Structure formats: C-alpha cells, structure tokens
Structure 1
Amino acid sequence: MTNTKQWAASHGLCVDDVVLPVYDYVKAYHRTVEDVAIRTIILHCVAAVGYGVDPQPIIAWLKDLSVWEKVSPNEQNFLCANVPTDKERSDSRWRQEAQWALLWAIGKVEALGLPTQTCDTARLVDEIMPGLGDSIDHFVSAASLRPPAELLGEDDRTYNLHCHARKAFRDGSMPDDLVYDVLFQRHYAFEWLSGEEDWDNVTTDT
C-alpha cells in the first residue's frame, strides 16, 4: 500500500506542506476575514463541548460577544442539548479540523500539509485561540485573510484529494496514513469559505 504522499503525487497533486499560489488569480473569496475569524471561534466552542466542556459558560460567552446569532441552528441545538449523542459529540470534535483549515486561511497557522495527521490541539488551545471569557477583539483584528491565489491553491488541492480519496475508498486503495475525516473537514471549510451557503447547508460534492 502506498502512503498518501506517493498516492497524491501519482495523481499529479502537490505534496509539499505549502501549495504554490494559483498564478494571477485575484478574485476575492466570499467571506470576510471577520466572518472567518468568528467562525473559528464558534467551531472552537463546538469542539470543546464535544470534548466534555460545560456548554453553559460557552453559550453565555458567545452571547456576551454578540456572536450567538452567528452560531448555526445545528450548532445551537448541539450546544443546548441536555444529553448529546455519542455521534454528535464525535462529529463536533472533528470540527476542529475545519477550524484548523480556516485558521490557516486567516494566517494563524503556517501550513496545512497533506491530511495525514490531526491538528495540533495543544497549540490550538494554548497559543492560538482566545480563552473562554476573554475578549476576542485582538484575535479578530490581528487576522489577515490570505490572498485569493494562496487560498485557491490549497482549496484546489483539498478538493482534488477528496475526489481521489472517494474513488480510492470505493476501490479499496485508500492510503493507510490518510485521515479521511481531516480531509473531509478541510473540504467542508473551503466550500464554506468560497461559497454563500450557511454553515449547516455546505455540500462537499466531488
């Protein structure tokens, strides 16, 4: 069985940590840098509850920040649920991989690389994200959306990887070290970033 790097290279895809920008592409993505920064905060909260953090202080914080109305209906239902199911908790934990991709988009993460490992949760909590109850003003104001050419380079790679991964799954030829949930969440994040759909309605067609 080939590894993800060999497999991706065989399909002509970039295997470097940093994808080259798409030459001369300047069309702006749909979301603003504030949209993306706020979405990473929401995803951080959703993942935290998936890991067992008490949702009530999180909900109160999001409301104090005037961010609660930007939490999607599905996310609000999860955060307010008395007893979320195991699947809901698992799904919410994986959202930190979408969060990581969006943090890359606003310059908080240096590179994504191939989807062969989960994100650095310790760095996410200890270094990148605001703490519960903290102001988010500096986090948002210090964010900077990468140029469209850079975003499209990584977006295209993620989309093409997902296309080939779905075919590999059907064929039984998926690389052993490819973490499919990481790839899926990245694709979801990029589809939201480039599209106009509400978070709950994003599709990851390939």
Structure 2
Amino acid sequence: MAYFTIFASRNDIKDIGGLVHEVFADGFKVTGGAPGEKEMTVHPKGWFKNNKITIRVASEDTDPDYFANNIPGMTGFYDRIPFADEDLKRRVMIQISVINTMLAIETEKEYGKDDLERFIKLAAKVDGIGFIPDGTLLDRDGRVIVYPDGSSDAADFSPRACTRKIRGEDRTTPEGAERKQRSLAYLKEKQVPYVEHLPELPPLSELKVRSREEIARRAAALLIVIQYACDVAQEGDLAESKAFVTGLLDRFGVKDALTEAEKDLLEQAEPEYQDAVNLVWQYEAYWALLWALGVVDSLDFPDHPCDSKAAIEAVSSCSGFDEFLERTALRRAEDMLDEADKIYRLHWACVNDRIRGREPAAGLNESVVMERRRALFWMIGYRDEAWDDISMDT
C-alpha cells in the first residue's frame, strides 16, 4: 500500500465527491462520492492498469475523534522540525490549527508521477495541502512547503481557513436569511454560481454603519492619494506629485482620513510599484463610497472598471470638503447591507472559479469585486475592521 493525504479547512464536504469525479474523469471509473458518502474507489480503465485507489473523506463533523486525536500530534511533529524560515513555520502552524477536513488516499501499489499530479490537482480543487508519509507538505501547486529537514520550495505559502474556523458556527436570523435569498436570486438572474452554505451577514442591529461625513472624508482622502499612486505606477515626477497631493489633502482637510498604508506610500522615498498599483485599484472601492453617498446612481454588475473620469470629477469639481459633503445624501443602511451581501457572494464565485482554473462566471472582474467589497464591508462596520484590514475570506 502507498499513501497520500490531503488536509483542508472547509465549511463542509458536500462537494468533495464531485471534485473527485472531476479529477478522475478521464481514464478512470469512480465509484461512490454522493453527498454523505465517506469512501470512494477509483479504478483505472484498461487491461494493464490495475492500481486501485481508495479515497476516504473525514471532517470534524463526521469524525471528531480523529481530529481531536491527530491534529495535536501533527502540531507537535511540525513544531519540532527545524524550519529554515521561522515565519513560514508560523504560517504552517496556523494552517494546521484550522484543518477540519481530510482526504486519505490509499493505492494498492506505489503511485507514480501521473498519480501524484492527480492527487495534487485534487488538493488544489479542495483548497488543501498534501501530506506525504515522510512528513513532507506540498502546496496546491505541488511545491514543497516544508521537507522533514526544514527546507522549503514554497516560502510564499499562505494558510487558508474556512469561515467556520474564523467565525465559529454560522447562525441565521430572519433578516439575514431573507437578505441572503434576495442575493441568491440576483446571482441566479446573472447566471453566477453560488453555494447555499455561505453564511449570512449579521443583521443591521448588530452593525455600526459609518456616518455620511466619515464616508465622505474617506472618499475624498482616497481619491486624492490614488492620484499620487497613479504617478508612482506611471513613473511620473513624484516630488511634484507629492506636493500637489499634499496641497489637496490640506485644502480638503482630510489628511487624518488616510490609512496607515496610504501614509506610508506618501512618505516612502522610493515607493513600491506594486503598492501603488494595489492602491490604484481602489478606484473601485472609492466608486462604492460615492454610490453610498448618493453621488453615483447605481452599482453596475462588477464585470468592468468604474468611470474614472466621473469618479475624479465628483471631488475635483468642489472647492473643498464642505462643498463635496453638501452634494451627498447617504443611502439607507439596509441598501448598503444588501449590496455587501451580494458582493460577498459574488466574491465567492470569483474565488471558486480561480481555484478551479476557470474564467470568472459572467465576466466578473475579481479585482473590482474585492475593492467594492472592501468599501461596502467598511461602511457597514463589519467586525469593526479597519480599511486596510477588511477580511476577504469566502
């Protein structure tokens, strides 16, 4: 017998059977895999191919004793490995701490390179990591996260955690359930895939929606600093650009509405190109702020960038912050929460397609979706997270 194990952090295991069927669709016969079934067998087709594969699926819900007994041992094993990179060790330990799903793969004979590639493909589809019996961990691309001697080929590994592990057990409320169903109806209309188990957002009574002035100050400050980020990305005259942007921040009196990351970008002698590009994408977050302030009529389906010319004009046409604020009228908190719920589910669709190597459904632009989510979640006060720290879990 030979073994390969996939560990993951997932909200449930209902779709794993289907993912196994996808991976072994060509040249194999798969038995089992219906929702609720914990074991599948995979038989290669052909006279001279007889290496039977058995896949057993377990989760904290179906086999709590396994996880209670084995995860502490796994933690201790990797804690003893002399990692060459201590930060990588920290990330590996975080990943182990949120594991709640296991796919135990057993082959009758030693598996070869082609089999291993399929196992890794399955790990990618379930968003998990691979474990080889000698203790080697593999990431979703088949790179080695860590060897038993502590070396690594994937120092950029990032842990993945499902929402159940981050927030605990999901709960439902009449308001949240109704909002969720409206969002799902919208996704159906747009022919965007979805999952029923993605949690509800909290009811409005549990959120602290930000004020019109706070949103307006964030919008003005963000637009202004984006102009500097554009010059950084386009290798413009940074001294001139910084002087211009600083003057605008003073004129509008919104310097204190900058985030720490934005302040850092302005203060860096040689700003990082990627930091600037990331900030330029926040035009999409700014557009959502303008919508909440009643400056933009509606939030279009997020399959294209916003109108940057109109976005700039919204603030640049004003002599100062007071004039800009006078032109705004805050939308209902219920409407903001509705949009936040929709974008949350659209983000799941983007991530799901990316993980599966598919083009985004309905032409969704994941960068637009993420930045719109940043603004909407910030405005509704979700978990009271700061602008730069908005969670992007799905």
Q: TM-score, normalised by structure 2?
A: 0.44
Post-superposition offset of 1:202: 2.0
Identify which of structures 1 and 2 has the higher relative contact order when contacts are C-alpha pairs closer than 8 Å and 6+ apart.
1
Q: Does 1:177 align with 2:356?
A: no
Post-superposition offset of 1:201: 2.3
Q: 1:154 aligns with which of 339, 342, 348?
A: 339
Q: 2:320 is matched with which residue?
A: 135
SS of 1:49's partner is helix
Structure (1/2) with the larger helix percentage: 1
Q: Does 1:38 align with 2:217?
A: yes
Q: 2:378 is matched with which residue?
A: 192
Q: 1:21 is matched with which residue?
A: none
Post-superposition offset of 1:61: 2.8
1:73–1:131 distance in 2 versus 1, CA, 3 Å: farther
Q: 2:298 is matched with which residue?
A: 111
Q: 2:177 is matched with which residue?
A: none
Alpha-carbon distance in structure 1 between the residues aligned to 2:212 and 2:218: 10
**1:40-79 to 2 correspondences below 5 Å:** 40-52=219-231, 54-79=241-266
Post-superposition offset of 1:46: 2.1
Structure 2 unmatched ranges of 5 or more = 1-187, 196-202
Q: 1:15 is matched with which residue?
A: none
Preserved contact between residue 349 and residue 361 of structure 2 (Cα < 8 Å): no
Structure with higher Rg: it is 2
Alpha-carbon distance in structure 2 between the residues aligned to 1:183 and 1:5: 18
Alpha-carbon distance in structure 1 between the residues aligned to 2:267 and 2:191: 42
Q: 1:7 aligns with which of 191, 194, 202?
A: 191
Q: TM-score, normalised by structure 1?
A: 0.81
Give, as a single letter, the amino acid of the residue that structure 1 aligns with 2:385: E
CA-to-partner distance for each residue in 1:117-173, whole Å, 9 max, x for gaps?
1000111123x12359x3121111221211122112211110110112111211123
Alpha-carbon distance in structure 1 between the residues aligned to 2:190 and 2:316: 38
Structure (1/2) with the larger strand percentage: 2
Alpha-carbon distance in structure 2 between the residues aligned to 1:189 and 1:73: 16
Preserved contact between residue 118 and residue 182 of structure 1 (Cα < 8 Å): yes
RMSD: 2.5
Q: 1:167 aligns with which of 341, 352, 362?
A: 352
Alpha-carbon distance in structure 1 between the residues aligned to 2:302 and 2:371: 10
